[in-house]
Amino acid sequence: MQLQDILYSQGFGTRRVCAGLIQQGFVNVYEQNSHLSPVKCVDAATEFEAHELRFQVQGVDWPYAEKAYILLNKPAATECSQKPSTYPSIYTLLPSPLRLRPQKAAVQGVQAVGRLDQDTTGLLLLTDDGKFIHRMSSPRHHVPKVYEVTVKHPLNDKQVSQLLAGVVLDDDPKPVRAAACEAVSEFHLRLTLTEGKYHQVKRMVAAVSNRVEVLHRSQIGGLRLPDDLAPGQWRWLNTADLAAIQGASA
């Protein structure tokens, strides 16, 4: 694949813009299976094997990724929307190539796999792989999501039992059950869900006569939010991460 096409596929602009970056000397390419410094390439038509290619654009390292899979530690007071109404969008936390990756659909770039409320923090996945989004979002696949919940009133065994047995939400007569639930401490509830209804955690906790004060998602499938990833930071998901996420689904 020509280098300008590789950069285009990774979201660095139109093919003309990508060719310009290369011709102006802003692109360096690592030799495959080499730990040596990258080599400057100024010919936009130079052919490379895209798979596992690493390169630099304006001094920033990038891996070639046919599909992008991203983990973001979502901070509070951000919205999972391209057009936020009140708070900044989570997409402003990502570099522009991830937001501009070309797609056949009208929407460019990576998209959030489901949404977290503006005041909810924690693990959020983003990708430009539509099949992955569907698999992670579909209730048929029962992907477990773990939430750390700080509640207003002291927890008791009855509340935990009710959440495990199922509670009725106002818009659905069918009881909604937690896949797992434990009172970690007097005001700390750990709740595992396998579906994603609107404001589900808050409404389930309200249904057992308590109230969510702080909500944080710590895990999806077998993938935990890394301790060293600060709020607002992101990283690429590797093969092991993806296997951990999907291996926990039915």
Catalytic site positions:
117
Question: Taking a C-beta distance cutoff of 8 angstroms, is the pair 56, 28 a contact?
Answer: yes
Residue type at position 80? C
Q: How far apart are CA 243 and CA 59, in angstroms?
A: 31
Question: Taking a C-beta distance cutoff of 8 angstroms, is the pair 99, 92 a contact?
Answer: no
Query: Nearest CA to 74 among 61, 87, 86?
Result: 87
Which residues are within 8 A (CB) of 205 and not within 5 positions of it... i.e. 6 or more apart? 149, 151, 163, 189, 211, 212
Residue type at position 32? Q
